[in-house]
């Protein structure tokens, strides 16, 4: 799809041509209470943090989402996700949930993968320049991000339907409209609509310019491309609203100013809060504390436990931010928690809702099996686990495939798995109670393995030496 071209430039390829959906009509300004409707509900939940611009536009933002007005059509909202890694992480979830709330209200949403912008690197919220990513790696990451976005969107549609007519969910990649453009043509057409003073005044730019490392031209140019993305989506899809993290407000403002100069129309920005660790650090790849949404990087069990471990002082806020649960139901959950805090009911519900959204019902079931196997010493849970689940649960465990010979003993098993040292010391580790198989302590080294006790129905044994060392054994020729 060719990019919409810029108005007022003599080069033929930069003349504005409206996209297939055109631009949605603005309608007439009318009185509207900001205390009602979709925006106010999400503001009350804490999901929507800032609105830009708040006043002074021909049509105020809440009016666009007033479905009671006869002239109002479904709106289009977008949010960008740069493929600096091959997976989304928990820090991206709030922006994605923001899109889902608009979709559930009947509006169309676009998740924009930044296959082009990721090569520049967004300086927002950063104290130093990002690692330079080569085109091949960005392309792989972009494809992985697309798959991840589509998977979560599919879980959302399949498992969280509320009976309403939802809008569409579309994944695009901005590489599609930059790869055919020439740099000089782009700068000649777009560059004149950006003022250096305004670009330099952005907080993200000021912070970097004052840092010892300074700021590269590539990073500085990032906000120009993000502004053009907004313009492209406005022209092609009638997109009037950009959603982003609270550190994206400066980039959103650049997009608003660019579109307003070119078209005279108003567009809007909405920010969502950034999720931070207990130390206040932003969760993400760069900070080294990312909780990934890709199962190969963070298992459903690990994601589930991340939310189960949330503190009491944050769990109510997280239920409002990360779930679709109605506020009265959240209030009821918290009331029960006051009476029985030891059950950690809010944390478990939060973990279940998020894990189901990210990994589907099968992922949630897997997380619960792993939880029961690890923390409740459940043999039934162990027997129901797949090889993959065991490897996910015990990521540091050694994995062995052994042939079950007649008369194989506990001592034989431990030595074949290289779990104990040879000689008397290894023998004593068993007799002194330092070895367990499938959560059962074994103290007789000469005991012969019994199927159903030492070997589970799924053909696996979980061997533990001491308190922390696990070994997974898959038995062959049972």
Query: Per-residue pLDDT averaged across 377-401, rounded?
Result: 87
Distances (CA, A) of 375 to 153, 314, 337, 359, 369: 31, 23, 21, 21, 10
Query: What Rg value do the Cα atoms of the chain yield, rounded?
Result: 27
Distance of alpha carbon 422 from alpha carbon 456, whole angstroms: 26
Mind listing the pLDDT tens digit for each residue in 39-55?
999 999 999 999 988 77
Predicted local distance difference test score (pLDDT) of residue 29: 29
Higher-confidence position of 128 and 37:
37
**Given pLDDT bands bounded at 50, 70 and 90, which one contains residue 4?**
low
Q: What percent of the chain has pLDDT over 70?
A: 85
Whether the per-residue pLDDT at 309 is higher than 90: the answer is: yes
Predicted local distance difference test score (pLDDT) of residue 315: 96
Helix/strand/coil (H/E/C) assignment for every residue in 180-229:
CCCHHHHHHHHHHHCCHHHHHHCHHHHHHHCCCCCCCHHHHHHHHHHHHH
**Given pLDDT bands bounded at 50, 70 and 90, which one contains residue 16?**
very low
Whether the per-residue pLDDT at 5 is higher than 70: the answer is: no
Whether the per-residue pLDDT at 30 is higher than 70: the answer is: no
Predicted local distance difference test score (pLDDT) of residue 23: 39
| Helical ranges in 50-134 per DSSP H | 61-64, 90-104
Region of poorest pLDDT, from 82-96, 106-120, 376-390: 376-390
Whether the per-residue pLDDT at 193 is higher than 50: the answer is: yes
Predicted local distance difference test score (pLDDT) of residue 3: 55
**Given pLDDT bands bounded at 50, 70 and 90, which one contains residue 9?**
very low
Whether the per-residue pLDDT at 272 is higher than 70: the answer is: yes
Higher-confidence position of 21 and 85:
85
Predicted local distance difference test score (pLDDT) of residue 277: 67
DSSP letter, residue 276: B
Query: Per-residue pLDDT averaged across 279-305, rounded?
Result: 79
Phi-psi region of 16 (alpha: psi -120 to 50; beta: other; left: phi over 0): beta
Predicted local distance difference test score (pLDDT) of residue 56: 64
Query: Per-residue pLDDT averaged across 105-119, rounded?
Result: 94
Distance of alpha carbon 209 from alpha carbon 467, whole angstroms: 51
Consecutive H or E run containing 111: strand 108-113
Query: Per-residue pLDDT averaged across 364-386, rounded?
Result: 89
Mind listing the pLDDT tens digit for each residue in 326-372?
999 999 999 999 999 999 999 999 999 999 999 999 999 999 999 99
Beta-strand relationship, 108-113 and 169-173: parallel
Measuring CA to CA, which residue among 217, 212, 218, 243 is closest to residue 95? Answer: 243
Q: What percent of the chain has pLDDT over 90?
A: 57
Distance of alpha carbon 122 from alpha carbon 220, whole angstroms: 9
Region of poorest pLDDT, from 207-221, 239-253, 374-388, 452-466: 207-221
Distances (CA, A) of 17 to 21, 200, 225: 11, 31, 19
Mind listing the pLDDT tens digit for each residue in 120-173?
876 665 656 667 788 899 999 999 999 999 999 999 999 999 999 999 999 999
Considering the chain, what is the average pLDDT of its residues? 85
Query: Per-residue pLDDT averaged across 272-277, rounded?
Result: 84
**Given pLDDT bands bounded at 50, 70 and 90, which one contains residue 27?**
very low
Predicted local distance difference test score (pLDDT) of residue 286: 53
Predicted local distance difference test score (pLDDT) of residue 223: 84
Predicted local distance difference test score (pLDDT) of residue 1: 47
Query: Per-residue pLDDT averaged across 457-478, rounded?
Result: 89
């Amino acid at each position: 799809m060719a990019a919409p071209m810029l108005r007022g430039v003599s080069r033929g390829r930069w003349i504005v041509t409206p996209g297939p959906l055109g631009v949605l009509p603005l309608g007439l300004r009318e009185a509207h209470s900001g205390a009602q409707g979709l925006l106010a509900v999400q503001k009350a939940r804490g999901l929507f943090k800032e609105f830009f611009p708040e006043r002074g536009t021909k049509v105020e933002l809440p009016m666009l989402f007033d479905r009671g007005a006869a002239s109002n059509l479904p709106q289009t909202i977008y949010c960008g996700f740069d493929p600096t890694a091959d997976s989304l992480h928990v820090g991206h979830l709030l922006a994605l949930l923001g899109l889902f709330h608009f979709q559930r209200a009947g509006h169309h949403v676009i998740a924009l993968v930044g296959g082009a912008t990721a090569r520049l690197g967004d300086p927002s919220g950063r104290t130093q320049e990002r690692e330079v990513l080569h085109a091949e790696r960005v392309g792989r990451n972009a494809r992985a991000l697309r798959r991840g976005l589509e998977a979560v969107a599919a879980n959302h549609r399949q498992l969280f339907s509320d009976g309403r007519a939802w809008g569409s969910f579309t994944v695009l990649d901005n590489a599609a409209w930059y790869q055919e453009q020439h740099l000089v043509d782009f700068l000649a057409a777009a560059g004149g609509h950006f003022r250096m003073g305004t670009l330099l005044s952005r907080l993200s730019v000021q912070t970097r310019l004052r840092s010892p490392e300074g700021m590269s031209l590539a990073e500085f140019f990032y906000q120009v491309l993000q502004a053009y993305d907004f313009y492209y989506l406005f022209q092609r899809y009638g997109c009037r609203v950009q959603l982003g993290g609270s550190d994206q407000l400066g980039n959103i403002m650049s997009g608003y100013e660019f579109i307003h100069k070119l078209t005279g129309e108003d567009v809007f920005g909405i920010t969502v809060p950034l999720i931070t660790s207990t130390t206040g650090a932003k969760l993400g790849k760069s900070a080294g504390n990312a909780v990934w949404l890709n199962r190969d990087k963070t298992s459903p069990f690990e994601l589930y436990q991340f939310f189960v471990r949330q503190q009491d002082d944050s769990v109510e806020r997280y239920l409002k931010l990360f779930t679709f649960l109605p506020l009265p139901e959240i209030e009821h959950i918290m009331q029960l928690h006051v009476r029985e805090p030891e059950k950690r009911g809010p944390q478990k519900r939060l973990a279940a809702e998020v894990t189901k959204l990210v990994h589907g019902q099968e992922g949630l079931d897997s997380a619960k099996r792993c939880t029961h196997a690890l923390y409740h010493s459940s043999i039934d849970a162990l027997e129901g686990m797949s090889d993959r689940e065991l490897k996910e649960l015990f990521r540091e465990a050694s994995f062995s495939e052994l042939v079950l010979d007649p008369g194989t003993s506990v001592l034989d098993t431990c030595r074949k798995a290289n779990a104990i040292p040879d000689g008397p010391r290894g023998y004593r580790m068993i007799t002194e109670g330092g070895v367990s198989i499938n959560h059962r302590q074994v103290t007789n080294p000469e005991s012969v393995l019994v199927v159903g006790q030492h070997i589970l129905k799924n053909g696996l044994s979980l061997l533990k030496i001491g308190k922390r060392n696990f070994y997974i054994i898959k038995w062959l020729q049972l």
